[in-house]
Structure 1
Amino acid sequence: MKTKFITTLFIIFSLTSFAQKKVNTDDQAIRKSMVYFANTIKYKKLDQTIDAIYPKFFTAVNKDQFTQMLNMTYNNPFVKIDVLDMKFISVGKPELIDGENFSITSYYLKLKADVSSMNEEMKKSISEMLAKKYGKNSVEYIAKDGAYVINAPMKMVAVSKDKKNWKVVFADAEYKKQLTKVLPKKILDKL
């Protein structure tokens, strides 16, 4: 009787450990893809940024226009934007839908926007735009640097067929209309 109890306990422990390892493996693979994506922006390797995006996204959003927007944002001589840090809030458990796995990921991206070359009117305009997009409490102006530090709350959806190679999709409100053509309704309803 004691042997059966110990054997059963061992089996339950083994199954639980395996299940947790599987979840952690998915979590790690998703985090790795997200960090890779953020680093492509940080180091301004925008071709790699585009490659890290879920290809179906470009059926709803023009790839060339999106690439130009990234270039104007991250290679702008008037507003130099640098990625300072990335902190995960949550990585959702992958959901299998129509042969693809989807995971909703939330994180903070800490950015520095150097506006020192702008006049006061333009700085004010940038300040208003940043506060509107990220929230007033997420934007701080550092006068001595002539830069804004933004703690941007972000959401992305990671997508993979094999749970090893993950691509990302922006889950910003500005892309909500286009995302209806890209993501399953079950995932959209959770955003």
Structure 2
Amino acid sequence: MFKTRFFALLFILLSFISFAQTKVNTDDQAIRKSLVYFVNSIKYKKIDQAVECIYPKYFTIISKEQMTQLLNMTYNNPLLKVDVQDMKFGNIEKPELIDGEYYSIVNYFPKLKCNVSAMNENMKTKIGEAMISKYGKQNVKYLQNEGSYIINANMRACAISKDKKSWKFLILEKQYKPQLVKILPKKILNKI
């Protein structure tokens, strides 16, 4: 009888743990799916679609129109062709409920190819220096024969959702912190 109770209790405990893991994985999967959609929107130059993936409160700081122009200048620029080649995920934090919204910090690693072949040598050098300054020398490689830089970027984003199904994003970089202070909870800001 003791053995039966023990195994029943063990089974219930393992079922509970499995259910809890499934729940965490479900959150992870929803965040990954939304972030892949966002990055693919940029990759395939669907800028309006990409803008819809940005946390709406950010548009109280910069208008949707300005964001659309900024992304178009970055990803549809004939002098600096930026292509997202690949993306890997790092740690995705467990979503935290703060003031009615869930927040999760996501580490991800896009591989970018920046074709600068249309630029003069001076501009190519300046672009390279800027990329090395931002991403680190070990993460930037110049391909002379293609006139392109390959960048292995280490990036962080904040995923935000009301329902844990549909996630919106903010890119987390120290230079954006003065803007983000206006819209993110202090607990999240402290992680930047």
TM-score normalized by structure 2? 0.97
Distance 2:71 2:171 in 1: 13
Distance 2:92 2:190 in 1: 17
Q: How does 1:8-157 map to 2 (within 5 A)?
A: 8-157=9-158
- How much has 1:170 moved relative to structure 2? 1.2
- How much has 1:16 moved relative to structure 2? 0.3
**Structure-2 residue corresponding to 1:7:** 8
Higher mean alpha-carbon deviation, 55-64 vs 32-41, is at: 55-64
* One-letter identity of the residue aligned with 2:24: V
- How much has 1:25 moved relative to structure 2? 0.3
Cα-to-partner distance string for 1:52-109 (whole Å, 9 max, x where unaligned): 1110111122332222111110000101110000011111110000111000001111
- How much has 1:118 moved relative to structure 2? 1.0
Moved over 6 A (4+): none
Cα-to-partner distance string for 1:133-166 (whole Å, 9 max, x where unaligned): 1112111000111100011111000001111011
Distance 2:17 2:101 in 1: 25
Distance 1:152 1:61 in 2: 24
Cα RMSD for the two superposed structures: 0.9
Distance 2:136 2:66 in 1: 26
Structure 2 portions without partners, runs of 5+: none
- Matched residue pairs, number? 191
Distance 1:60 1:95 in 2: 24
Distance 2:77 2:40 in 1: 18
Higher mean alpha-carbon deviation, 60-69 vs 82-91, is at: 60-69
Distance 1:63 1:188 in 2: 23
* One-letter identity of the residue aligned with 2:165: K
* One-letter identity of the residue aligned with 1:185: K
* One-letter identity of the residue aligned with 2:135: Y
Distance 1:27 1:13 in 2: 21
TM-score normalized by structure 1? 0.97
* One-letter identity of the residue aligned with 1:174: Q
